[in-house]
Amino acid sequence: MPLLHQFEKVYSLLNLIKFSHTIFSLPFAIMSTFLAANGMPEIRQLLLIIAALVAARGAAMSFNRLVDRNYDMLNPRTSYRAVLLNKIGKKNIWLFTILSVILVITFAWLLNKLAFYMSPIAILIIFGYSYTKRFTYFSHVVLGLALALSPLGAWIAIKGTLSVTPLVLALAVILWTGGFDIIYACQDMEFDTKTGLYSIPKRFGIKGALIISGILHFLMVLVLVIIPVYTDLGLIYKIGVCITGALLFYEHSLVKPKDLSKVNTAFFTINGIISLGLMGVTLIDIFLT
């Protein structure tokens, strides 16, 4: 029974930190890794990059649940988070967060000096996001920046330096994440208004927020089109970008100002397909052209 209890805690933790949402950032890190290596990277480097990203995301999400606990308790959509947090134990969540931070820094140190030096800055950004809804409407963009650290960090891990390619890819991630997070935040417009939290839907209304989200996603596609200018990516990648544009159009067709019933499909399913699809076409293009 004690072993079963521990398994239940682990399952609750994975549910609490939404481990499945790693699908949003990991594919872009892998894309950046293979682009930086101009092909297959060293297995050791690839595994360390993936491990560092998973640890960083775990730290970010567990920290977010800790600092947002009081808000999560009041919001019907997120009240389960407070229940899970109490079930796991606040002390255990703090220990998990600290351990995850230590792992991020350790993995970065094992990669190269610049990755190691930049790791504390990355941690500050991903932790800082958790406070942004308390004072700025641009929290969605900050979340995008946090996810954009994945391609930037992956490139640094391989090259030991930065260049235009990962910066352009990071910009695409910022625009993409900001866009879909605005859609997701439409569900909480009334709660944000009541509690004094900041969000684009609260500031511009759901209709205005969806328009802004659409503009960000349009700009994301334009940025993706630019990437072949700085890489050897060709036709296969470009076809993937066209499909991405079509999927984003479909995503926006699912969500209406007066009908948010399909937000979860638009948020998780479509964007999961986009991230995995872009990674797939990029890797195919790298190895076949």
* 161-186 residue pLDDT tens: 999 999 999 999 999 999 999 999 99
Quote the pLDDT of residue 32. 98
Same domain, 86 and 200: no
The Cα diameter of the chain in Å comes to: 58
d(CA 38, CA 41): 8
- Spatial contact of 117 and 154, defined as CB atoms under 8 Å apart: no
**pLDDT of 92 strictly over 70:** yes
Domain end, chosen from 131, 164, 185, is at 131
**pLDDT of 14 strictly over 80:** no
Same domain, 41 and 156: no
- Spatial contact of 96 and 62, defined as CB atoms under 8 Å apart: yes
Length in residues, the chain: 289
Query: Which carries the bigger pLDDT value, residue 253 or residue 11?
Result: 253
Mean pLDDT score of the chain: 93
Beta bridge partners of 256: 259
Same domain, 197 and 286: yes
Residue 77 sits in a domain whose CATH number is 1.10.357.140
Same domain, 272 and 141: yes
Within a 10 A sphere around the Cβ of 216, how many other Cβ atoms?
Answer: 23
Same domain, 167 and 280: yes
- Range with the poorest average pLDDT among 18-27, 239-248, 273-282: 18-27
Beta bridge partners of 259: 256
Same domain, 11 and 137: no
Write the DSSP assignment of 57-73 as a string of letters. Answer: HHHHHHHHHHHTHHHHH
Same domain, 281 and 150: yes
Residue 269 CB-half CA count within 13 A: 9
- Range with the poorest average pLDDT among 6-20, 35-49, 155-169: 6-20
DSSP class of 235: H
Distances (CA, A) of 89 to 84, 109, 134: 8, 30, 25
For residues 44-64, give the mean pLDDT: 96
Judge whether 31 lies within some domain: no
Quote the pLDDT of residue 250. 96
Same domain, 123 and 146: no
Within a 10 A sphere around the Cβ of 160, how many other Cβ atoms?
Answer: 13
d(CA 219, CA 213): 10
Within a 10 A sphere around the Cβ of 246, how many other Cβ atoms?
Answer: 11
**pLDDT of 5 strictly over 70:** no
For residues 48-60, give the mean pLDDT: 96
For residues 1-28, give the mean pLDDT: 74
Same domain, 250 and 289: yes
Judge whether 244 lies within some domain: yes
Long-range pairs, 7-10, Cβ under 8 A, ≥24: 9/87, 9/88, 9/92
Quote the pLDDT of residue 239. 97
Share of residues in the chain with pLDDT > 70 (%): 97
Q: Which domain holds residue 233?
A: 133-289
**pLDDT of 13 strictly over 90:** no
Query: How many domains are there within the chain?
Result: 2
Same domain, 99 and 223: no
What band does 1 get if pLDDT is binned at 50, 70 and 90? Answer: very low
96-154 pLDDT tens trace: 999 999 999 999 999 999 999 999 999 999 999 999 999 999 999 999 999 999 999 99
Quote the pLDDT of residue 60. 94
The token duo for 191 is 């709660």
Same domain, 144 and 233: yes
d(CA 122, CA 105): 10
Backbone angles phi, psi at 197, to 5 degrees: -80, 160
At 260 the three-state DSSP class reads coil
